[in-house]
Structure 1
Amino acid sequence: MTALESSVLVLNRLWQAVNLCSARRAFGLLYQGHAHVVHAEESDFYALDFARWAEHSRHYEGSDIVHTVSARIRIPRVILLVLFERLPSKEVKFTRHNVFERDNHTCQYCGHRFENRFLNLDHVVPRERGGKTVWENIVCSCIWCNSRKGNRTPLEAGMKLLRKPRRPRWRPLVASESGGVPEAWRRFIDVDSWKVELS
């Protein structure tokens, strides 16, 4: 994972944690003026815009830095959205990424873990037979098992699912892949209830 792919905690305007985004996305929001970096010094918090964060970064000696043509900028750990005050939806959005997370990047037929490039989504009941693109009918599958299964049900293909697909329960945040909750986030989240996997 590159530095720009690292996770950043996103707070709404009311300082409530609402999401995670990549550092790349966070920099875009900062540069456009849609967010500020939340910087903590002891018990005080400061919301710094892009220019102030870039200035602050000049004196930083850590390794979590990105280099531009003219500056070194520290990767933020927490950003505050300037206008957004809503809370996130209490439903896990159906996306390719979230299906991979639900299934732990593991083919639900052979049981092996793969990088995303070797995975795809499989309709347990094929679309041509009325299978829908919903949580309960989609599983993570390696390209080899998906090819073997083809346009058949697992039973017809002589394959067995590791577990029945289901809609994941909503969680406020999904723990980062490393499983750790960064120290900078701990003041904004209840670690015990937020350090969970998508299940």
Structure 2
Amino acid sequence: MTERQQPHTLKNKKKLLNEDDAASVLALYSVREAPRLSLRRRAIKTEISKSHLQRIFKQNRILPFKPIFRHTVEEGDEAKRLDFCLEMGNRVLNDLSNENVFFQQDGCPAHHAITVRNWLNSEFNEHWIGRDGPILWPPRSPDVKISDFYLRGRLKQIVYREPLENDEEQLKTRIQNAVKSLSIEEIRNSFNEFRARIEICAAKGGALFE
């Protein structure tokens, strides 16, 4: 004769996993398995409400994936991308040292002024990348831009790790500290990723590959 098993109730046994814990485990596992799902699609897949997912992500300091739709390639872009990748591969990456630093200009219209470009030519000679510079930067090319495929997202992850007050100086300080916190190994890995990406871009004749 065997002992009759008692049913699990709140009175005679503690639950090993409550509903909130189970939802958290499921949500975090879902992020690990499919990190690029939108919040809406993840809610459908896991059957957890969007508001509940948002609470779980906030508790675990996870930012929900938000796809950013880039401009489509326009006529002439592929040739510019190909020229850039070949130039970077042949001229820059094969001759990079501490004494051979290249400055990358941003795309702000005010920074395209002739006075700015003259100053860059004076300070960096042929060692700067940008619009109408010695090394032309191809438009609509986030797949070969370190600041797009790596740096911006990494810095946001560090800067917003803790709640941030509406304070511009605090934001500047956090960004500066975030940049200083990047390890040599991490920077080297991003450089290797950049090298691999321009090789892919060149092999595809300048076409977008991501």
Per the shorter chain, which TM-score range? under 0.3
Q: Which has the larger radius of gyration?
A: 2
Higher normalized strand content (fraction of residues): 1
TM-score (norm 2): 0.24
TM-score (norm 1): 0.25
Higher relative contact order (CA 8 A, sep 6+): 2
Higher normalized helix content (fraction of residues): 2
